[in-house]
Amino acid sequence: MKLLIFPLCSLLLVLTVEQGTSEENSTEETSKGQSLIATGSSPEETSRVTPLRWSSDGDITMKGPHDLHQLVLTSHEGDGKKDVTAIAGFSVEPSGIVTVSPTGLIRVIGNGSATITAEFAGSLLSRAVKVNQADEQLPISFPNEIVPIFTRHGCNGGGCHGKAEGQNGFKLSLLGYEPQDDHGYLVQEGLGRRIFRASPTHSLILLKASGELPHQGGSRLARSSDDYKTIVRWIRQGLPYGSDGDSPVTRISIEPRERLTRAKAVQQLRVVAHFSDGSSKDVTRIAQYEANDEEMAIVSDRGLVAMQERTGSTSVMIRFQEHVGVFRATIPLGVPVDNLPSSDNLVDQHIFTKLRTLGLPPSSLSDDSTFLRRATIDIAGRLPTLDETDKFLADTDPEKRTLKIDQLLASTDYADYFAGKWAAILRNKRTSAHHARGSFAFHSWIRNSLHHNVPYNSFVRQFVAASGEVGNNPPVIWYRTVKDSKEQLQDVAQIFLGQRLQCAQCHHHPYEKWSQDDYYGFEAFFSKVGRKPGAQPGEEVIFNKIGVASAKNPRSGRALPPKPLGGKELRLAQHHDPRDSLADWMTNEDNPFFARMLVNRYWKHFFGRGIVDPEDDMRVTNPPTHPELLDALAQSFVESGYDLKGLVRTICNSTTYQLSSDPNEFNLDDRQNYSRFYPRRLPAEILLDGINTVTNAKEKFSGQPQGIRAVQLPDDQFTKESYFLSVFGRPDMNSACECERADDVNLAQALHLVNSTNIRNKLASDNARAALLVKNTEFSDEARISELYRRAFSRTPGPEELNVGIRYLNRKRTPADPSTLSEEAKKKQRSPEAIAREPYEDLIWALLNTKEFLFNH
Amino acid sequence: MITFADSSPYSRRSFLQVGGLGLGGLSLSQLIGWRASAAKAGIPLKNKSVVFLFMHGGPPQQETFDPKMDAPAEIRSSTGEVKTSIPGVTFGSTFEKLAERANRLAIVRSYTTGNGNHDIKPIVGKDSLGANIGSLFSRIAGANVPTTGMPRNVALFPRAVDADSQERVKQFGNLLAHGTVGASCAPFAPGSAKNGLQGDMTMWMSRQRLEDRMYLLNKIDNLKRAIDNGAADGLGELQKQAVNMITGGISEAFDLSGEDPRTIARYDTAPLINPNSISKSWNNHRNYRDHGQTLGKLMLLARRLCERGAGFVTVTTNFVWDFHSDKNNAGAAEGMDYCGVPFDHAVSAFLDDLHERGLSDQILLVCCGEMGRTPKLQNNGGRNHWGRLAPLMLAGGGLRMGQVIGESSPDAGEPASNPVTTENLIGTIMHTLLDVGQVRLMENLPRDVHQLVTSALPIKGLS
């Protein structure tokens, strides 16, 4: 047994790859590989128990002289797994069949069978490899082998030749989604000037790409690279597109798919394309890689992931043609997590498992005040009343949190708050005075559905397939705002399925699998929405037109029948309303999008971040932080009969939701593992209502009953009407995205709270809280301050806080000594009432401007 | 906590101690004064301002400052040319007034923005670290003028002077971007709603009472610090800025009614373009309307803000220079009627006004878009996107005027000499605003900002 190991050499190579700057010369790499070939590995040696594993089992079969195969070698050490691909030694026996580079890449030399043996830290592992057709030039498939090269090097990106008008006269389809077109652009367009068949390396395409001729995009392809050579071979072969017999790629797989690793560790990936005929091919070197968060991990163009210093979870996106895969890496902090209570709550099980894996200790459980304020805001859209606070804090029932959640869900406040949330994304707009009846009715329909906890599937069906007129079926109002069938399909896909299809209208969605056929097939569901004038001006009757449902793909010119996303085309009878079929498909319990989207939306509502974030962009390339949790929540939601209140119960009763927002020494930076509650600014309506309850002010909104709370407002009009609501980000309801609601803090908001006449009037009116407090002379300052704290923060003030308040009040109440004042100042002397009131106005003003008030924490 | 900049000599603790002496101990205004002198000592400001009139959409080369009348018909200016006050230099015929004032302009005919994408790259892009150039300046100079609270970095959209105009165009990039330098450095965008922002900037309570309230707020907030992380972090800083603005009394700066009506009339571009005369066949006709109605007043407001201490003012109308002659946009000749005529008038009025006020050397005006347009006119009279050459005009700022910098190729398609990039433009702007040699010595600047400001080379031949 004789092995040659070059740890230093491998290490250098890893460093080069990590930096990702130098273009590795493949011939050089091969020669290194050859020098590693050793002889004499015996089967007995490798069969003993070894901690080493390949990423996939079985013999390796390679076809043709240019086939590549990336090995991924893992060493199992205790519970952990470590990628040793780049630091193991590889030997091949017999020689002359294949070589293995130090990075584990197998290249073909000749036909035959060989055994590859890896050696790491004294352990061995072998694997058979078989090479066929090593002396034949296999025909190159343009879509499967050439187009990915353009994608990988950014040639067909949206900022370059991939944009609609191309770049400097040369156009490619965006990210290679139309390979047929690309073949034409390259081979035929420009009188064939881009290709020089007599001398392939003098083809314009290669001279430009390699930077030998000036190229605005710079030098992209080194002459020594595999990709360059592949294009040369393709030109030599006579520019084939590939035969009809070429099977399309059906999916790609990633090895490994996830890994628990360490900071500064590396992980080699292997990417395999699977074809419709059942064959597969290693595409590690032609796939495209993108790291989600470069502070956590970076990835080279050969699929080598290098973890950085930061801990947490991250992912690397791998793309090949329109197929997408994800590698997830978790880099634990490694602190012992022993403060987790046992919990049978679904949310906690998954969140706690991840926290244990990460070694990230969560914050402690929030106190009763914080819980009460948080749950009341999130469920009922308001601050707890003084009475609620006092009762809850005094209550000794160990089940009081659960009971409070039930109580809030049963109140109409829950329906008020969530109706506003849904009305915004269902775009309940009033664009003319005639629209009020409809927008009020739609809002009230949503509110009733939520209050009576209509199962979500049936709620959505009633609305998506709505027919009739507003008087008897308010959800038809949606079709009034969202007029165009393209907008309808886009909104429905985004709101209920988490799929953003807008891009697919004009081209294959760059980060998604959806094609234009998918887009127009989905549009066909809305192709028979008929309208006629309704009972009153500005109203319509929505009905299903008789006819064949179809929508035309302008690119192919084909009229497409309705087709669910990822499903089969439907043939529907002429009288059938295709929207019913759409609702059937959407609300089928096997629908992969429907329940996940909803639970993710609600998750974000309660945690400020989606498990997939943004919550309504659930494409493959935007992976969830907790996929198992998302699945489990969705499944439980389906099994509950789409019980929305039940979902809220599950979330709010979890320890995870009830954790304190105060960070411990480990989790201040945590933004996605829920090891503490993430504070967020109160939404515009809740903030306005909260200020009004604390100051005892009432808001007036046109056409609405006196004293209506902002959270109850039915449509978009009031955002325009109220500067407060617009500056704090209440949406204009122009889009199906909850992101239209601004949740940031900005200078205009600070100015408004600090200095507006609006707030001033709320503080200083004769019915205002300050005036009321002062009027009630039975109460001490302590009692008054305590009341204010309980109203604003749902807690009693600490001794130091009482002290600060009392000192301030006393100082401000001391009238200036008249003898020290000028005549003019004497005239300005305030009345005794003002002297009593103003310090309280100041105190209330200060409480309203604290972080504790402005944030849900 | 009431401190007025990162480098304030009063830490939270020390101010609490000061506050502990009683409110008579040290007043807010004294603190402000302190801070102002600290500013004079530490920040190498040249006390100049830059107004960046961003011609969003991408103006054509030939119809503006590079007519190429000797070129074939499909290349040369579709609107003809006009002689300027510089012998041998002509402009597109729309720019009659600017032509007379060419001796007060510097025209760059070799500016390239790098690509033909609709974005906002000369002002927010990779060259400016993903921030508005003004945000970087703010990071160095401080977000507000200490004595008045005037924001150093302001952005003016049509809504700032006309409530009926459309909301600013956002889909091509965020002109209010602050990159990584912090939300407090972002451009301040005034609105025009009566009960809105301007009203909130007008102090209605006594200064003493506002000081007392802020003191109390900070006392209360400090007793409950735990929320001081994540989203809440910026709030305290924003409240400080708000107080600065209120006590500085700057709301009048944003109010054009403080100007002589004759001055307003001189700037006003609304009478030049009757909104009804704009063809409704272009989807963007509302943008043309906003441009004509507001550009003059926006330039006047920019001047007013510069006089009051604003250092970098972004001015833009609603995306009008995209002369494709497609469904959305007019072609080059008609587009120049809608956009070029108000531009010619507003910029000329601005230059004359600065001249009369003796501010020409104090304020640098920069005008350009995110790209140029195709050298060749299409059959329908439109020009498409072009990344290899773009018009650029500068005026004032104490730079050398009355010249043309760089030459373009015969088709106005690319630079023929002295190519100028956005990095050079940023260099010129930073050298105008700051003593860059002194910035080099500043500590506590983010490294990338430091690097950018000290290494960007200004446009050659301007200083």
pLDDT given at position B5:
33
A7-132 against A249-331: fold identical: yes
Q: Looking at residue B143, what is its pLDDT?
A: 81
DSSP 3-state of B83: strand
Residue A183 to residue A155: CA distance in whole angstroms: 14
Confidence of residue A734 (pLDDT cuts 50, 70, 90): confident
Name the maximum alpha-carbon separation found in chain B. 80
A647 backbone dihedrals φ, ψ, rounded to 5°: -65, -45
Provide the CATH topology of domain A249-331: Immunoglobulin-like (2.60.40)
Provide, rounded to the nearest whole percent, the portion of chain B with pLDDT above 90: 63
Nearest to A370 by CA among A106, A657, A161, A34: A657
- Is pLDDT larger for residue A590 or for residue A191? A590
Contact B175, B155 (CB under 8 A): yes
Q: Roughly how many angstroms between the first and final C-alpha of chain A, as a whole number?
A: 65
Q: Would the CB atoms of B242 and A751 count as touching at under 8 Å? A: yes
Distance of CA B309 to the CA centre of its chain: 13
What average pLDDT does chain A have? Answer: 88
Q: What is the mean pLDDT of residues A653-660?
A: 97
Judged by average pLDDT, the poorest of A399-413, A610-624, B317-331, B336-350 is A610-624
pLDDT digits (tens, 9 = 90+) for A765-793: 999 999 999 998 899 999 999 999 999 99
Alpha-carbon gap, residue A39 to A54, rounded angstroms = 21
Rounded mean pLDDT of A332-342?
87
- Residues in chain A within 8 Å Cβ distance of B193: 723
Domains detected in chain B:
1-42+203-248 (no CATH), 45-197+250-455 (3.40.720)
| Pick from A606-610, A657-661, A741-745, B31-35: least confident | B31-35
Contact A182, A257 (CB under 8 A): no
Interval A668-708: pLDDT, tens: 888 889 999 999 999 999 999 999 999 999 999 999 998 89
Q: Does residue A322 surpass a pLDDT of 90?
A: no
The pLDDT tens digits of the residues spanning A158-172 come to 778 887 777 888 999
- Tell me: the pLDDT tens digits for A170-228? 999 888 888 888 999 999 888 888 999 999 999 999 999 998 888 878 888 999 998 99
| Residue B243 sits at the chain A interface (C-beta within 8 Å) | yes
Residue A364 CA, distance from chain mean position:
27
**Which of left, alpha, beta for B68 (phi over 0: left; psi -120 to 50: alpha)?**
left
Is the per-residue pLDDT at A738 higher than 90?
Answer: no
CA-based nearest distance A742→chain B, Å: 13
Dump strand ranges (E) for A430-560.
Answer: 529-533, 540-544, 551-552, 559-560
User: Would you state the structure tokens that stand for residue B193, as one six-digit string?
Assistant: 């709603």
Q: Where is pLDDT greater, at B8 or A631? A: A631
DSSP per position, A596-625: HHHHHHHHHHHHSS-SSSSTT---TTS--S
A66: closest CA among A162, A149, A135? Answer: A135
Sign of CA dihedral A495, A499, A500, A505: negative
CA B277/CA A48 separation, integer angstroms:
89
Report cis status (omega within 30 of 0) of the bond before B446: no
B31-66 as b/e, with b when 16 or more CB fall inside 10 Å?
A: bbebbeebbeeebbbbebbbbbbbbbbbbbbbbbbb
Q: Do B230 and A727 touch (CB under 8 A)?
A: no
A7-132 CATH fold: Immunoglobulin-like (2.60.40)
pLDDT for B435: 92
CA distance B219 to chain A (A): 7
Q: Which of A346-350, A642-646, B4-8 is predicted least confidently?
A: B4-8
Segment A99-147, tens digit of pLDDT: 999 999 999 999 999 999 999 999 999 999 999 999 988 889 898 889 9
Phi then psi dihedrals of residue B407, to 5 deg: -120, 155
- To the nearest whole Å, the CA of A727 is away from the closest chain B CA by 8
Top-confidence residue, B4 or A264: A264
Q: Which of A663-667, A770-774, B167-171 has the lowest mean pLDDT?
A: B167-171
A295 Cβ neighbours under 8 A, 6+ residues apart = A308, A310
What are the pLDDT digits (tens) for B412-439? 999 999 999 999 999 999 999 999 988 8
Domain borders along chain A are 7-132, 142-236, 249-331, 368-408+593-678, 459-587, 684-856
Of A212-221, A735-744, B191-200, B293-302, the least confident = B191-200
Q: Which residues contact A693 (CB under 8 A, 6 or more apart)?
A: A382, A383, A385, A791
Tokens read off for B462: 């301007």
- Residue-level pLDDT at B226: 62
Q: How confident is the model at residue B171 (pLDDT cuts 50, 70, 90)?
A: confident
What is the pLDDT, as a whole number, of residue B10?
A: 31
With cut-offs at 50, 70 and 90, classify the pLDDT of residue A726: confident
Sign of the four-CA dihedral A191, A195, A197, A199: positive
What mean pLDDT comes out for the span A260-265? 91
Residue of A nearest to B245 (CA): A751
Supply A105's token pair: 């890449």
**A470-479, A728-737, B79-88: range with lowest mean pLDDT:** A728-737
Of the listed ranges A519-533, A840-854, B45-59, B233-247, the one predicted with least confidence: B233-247
The mean pLDDT value for A389-407 works out to 98
**Could you report the per-residue pLDDT of A417-444, keeping only the tens digit for each?**
999 999 999 999 998 889 999 999 999 9
Of the candidates B192, B222, B200, B185, which has an alpha carbon nearest to the alpha carbon of residue B16?
B222
d(CA A569, CA B109): 57
pLDDT at A292 (0 to 100): 83
What is the tens place of the pLDDT at every residue in A834-854? Answer: 888 999 999 999 999 999 999
Percent of chain A with pLDDT over 90: 65
Nearest CA in chain B to A752: B200
Q: What number of C-beta contacts closer than 8 Å exist between A and B?
A: 135
Interface of A with B in 660-679 (CB under 8 A): 661-663, 668, 671, 678-679
Report the amino acid identity of residue A108.
Answer: V
Question: Which ipTM score applies to this complex?
Answer: 0.78
A535 token code pair: 């009972």
pLDDT > 70? residue A724: yes
B221 in contact with chain A, both atoms CB, cutoff 8 A: yes
Residue of B nearest to A750 (CA): B239
Express each pLDDT in B278-316 by its tens digit. Answer: 999 999 999 999 999 999 999 999 999 999 999 999 999
Identity of the residue in A755, A758, A845 whose CB atom sits nearest the CB atom of B203: A755
